[in-house]
């Protein structure tokens, strides 16, 4: 099997609120898939549908080859889940919760359990009510990571963890990937997503607005260019995909859709480049653009993004262009 999770056109409403409005999500077996979106975008709702806790009203969801609602108990043998809000039974110790949850999944590996407790620096003898938020999170993480399962579903698993533990978490997920486990990781921590995820899906208002590798997503956005020219440029405003053009004498600042970067550079070169700084969008910019409410209306670059998701995320041809977007170039 090559897809662990296959969700298409998922719809779910709570009263008058439409939480999921035709959401798509594909997670390939063996990949770490980032699941991103602003608060209330529908990430946790999707996860709950995948866990068979909520019943979808429309669309289809397949999980590990089964129906998450009908085959819930059988599928749950093969997955482990870490909720965003971990609540423990006040009178059970952390160690008891780890063992219980592990046994109720596919079983628990005692060696891994011991190792993880040590790595996460977690005292398993404390009672549930005396753990801090971060430590409750660690209990759920250790229980999930020590369980003998093929799929990990993690809903903001590092909220409340200190930076040290966050690093431990990243190491653990990297190891999981090496071992061939599939991970669905909902997160707001962009550095974490960048370090761990093979592919990401960005959702907003219950729909998927973007999906692909981070490199692909970067291609779908704008590069900002600032240049010092030998003379005033002509025809820059006519280049397709150029936005926010700001010409101050022989200094030019502009943003250009990455697909049209070379067109813009041709015009600039004609004017004679003295210095050039081209900056690919940072992850923050990438996400902020998608998170903003009216991003689509304000910035036309949102259009190819949506086309990308609708047609199965084919990156535009320019993605292969050697201009690349990973590096910024400065010449004089």
Partner 1 sequence: MSALAGTGTLTRLALRRDRILIPVWVAGLTLVMVASASSVDSLYPTLESRRQLAAGLANDSSVLAIYGPANALDTTGGMTMWKPGGLVFVLIGLMSLLIVVRHSRAEEESGRLELVGSGVVGRHAPLTAALLTAAIADVAVAALVALGMIGVGAPAAGSIAAGLSFAACGLVFAAIAAIAAQVTEGARAANGLAGTVLGLSYLLRAGGDSAGSGGASWLSWLSPIGWCQQVRSYAGERFWVLAFPVAFALLVVGAGYLLAARRDLGAGLVAAGSGPASAAARLRSPMALAWRLQRGALLGWAVGFAVVGVVVGSIGNGIKGLIGDNATVSDVLTRLGGRGGVIDAYLSTVLGMLGLVAAVYAVQAVLRLRSEETGLRAEPLLATRVGRIGWAVSHVAFAVLGSAGLLAVAGLLAGVTYGAEAGDLGGQLPRVLGAALVQVPAVWVLAGIAVAVFGLIPRLSVGGAWTVLGLSILIGEFGPLLRLNHWAVDVSPFAHVPRVLGATPEVQPLIWLLAIAALAGVLGLVGLRRRDIG
Which tokens is 17 given? 């609120």
CB of 139 to partner 1, least distance (A): 10
Using only C-alpha atoms, the chain has a radius of gyration, in whole angstroms, of: 23
Closer residue to partner 1 in complex, CB, 84/304: 84
CB of 141 to partner 1, least distance (A): 12
Closer residue to partner 1 in complex, CB, 84/324: 84
Residues in touch with partner 1 (CB under 8 A): 48, 51-55, 72-74, 76-77, 79-81, 83, 85-101, 103-105, 124-127, 129-130, 140, 153
Place of tokens 């971060």: 134
First to last CA, the chain: 52
Closer residue to partner 1 in complex, CB, 107/240: 107
Closer residue to partner 1 in complex, CB, 139/236: 139
Compute how many other C-beta atoms are within 10 angstroms of the C-beta atom of residue 245: 15
Closer residue to partner 1 in complex, CB, 97/193: 97
Closer residue to partner 1 in complex, CB, 45/187: 45
CB of 249 to partner 1, least distance (A): 54
CB of 142 to partner 1, least distance (A): 12
Compute how many other C-beta atoms are within 10 angstroms of the C-beta atom of residue 56: 21
CB of 52 to partner 1, least distance (A): 8
CB of 77 to partner 1, least distance (A): 5
Which tokens is 252 given? 């030019």
Q: Which helix (H) or strand (E) holds 190?
A: helix 190-196
Cα 95 off chain centre by: 31
Contact 72, 80 (CB under 8 A): no
DSSP codes joined into one string, 174-218: HHHHHTT-EEEEE-S-HHHHHHH-SEEEEEETTEEEEEE-HHHHH
């Amino acid at each position: 099997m090559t897809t662990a999770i296959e969700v298409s056109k998922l719809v779910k409403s709570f009263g008058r609120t439409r939480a999921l409005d035709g959401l798509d999500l594909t997670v390939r077996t063996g990949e770490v898939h980032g699941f991103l979106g602003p608060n209330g975008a529908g990430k946790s709702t999707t996860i709950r549908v995948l866990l068979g806790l909520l019943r979808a009203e429309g669309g289809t969801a397949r999980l590990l080859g089964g129906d998450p609602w009908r085959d819930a108990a059988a599928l749950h043998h093969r997955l482990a889940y870490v909720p965003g809000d971990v609540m423990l039974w006040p009178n059970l110790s952390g160690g008891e919760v780890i063992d219980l949850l592990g046994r109720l999944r596919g079983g628990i590996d005692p060696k891994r359990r011991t190792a993880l407790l040590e790595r996460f620096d977690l005292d398993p003898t404390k009672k549930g009510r005396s753990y801090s938020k971060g430590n409750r999170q660690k209990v759920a993480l250790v229980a999930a990571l020590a369980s003998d399962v093929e799929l990990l579903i993690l809903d903001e698993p590092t909220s409340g963890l200190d930076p040290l533990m966050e690093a431990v978490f990243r190491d653990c997920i990297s190891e999981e990937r090496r071992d061939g486990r599939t991970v669905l990781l909902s997160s707001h921590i962009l550095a974490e997503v960048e370090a761990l995820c093979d592919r990401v899906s960005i959702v907003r208002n219950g729909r998927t607005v973007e999906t692909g590798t981070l490199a692909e997503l970067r291609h779908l956005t704008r590069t900002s260019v600032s240049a010092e020219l030998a003379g005033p440029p002509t025809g820059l405003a006519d280049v397709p995909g150029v936005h926010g053009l700001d010409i101050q004498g022989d200094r030019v600042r502009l943003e250009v859709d990455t697909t049209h970067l070379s067109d813009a550079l041709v015009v600039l070169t004609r004017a004679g480049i003295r210095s050039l700084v081209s900056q690919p969008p940072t992850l923050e910019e990438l996400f902020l653009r998608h998170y903003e409410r009216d991003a689509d209306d304000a910035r036309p670059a949102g259009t190819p993004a949506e086309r990308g998701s609708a047609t199965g995320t084919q990156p535009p041809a320019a993605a292969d262009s050697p201009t690349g977007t990973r590096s910024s170039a400065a010449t004089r």
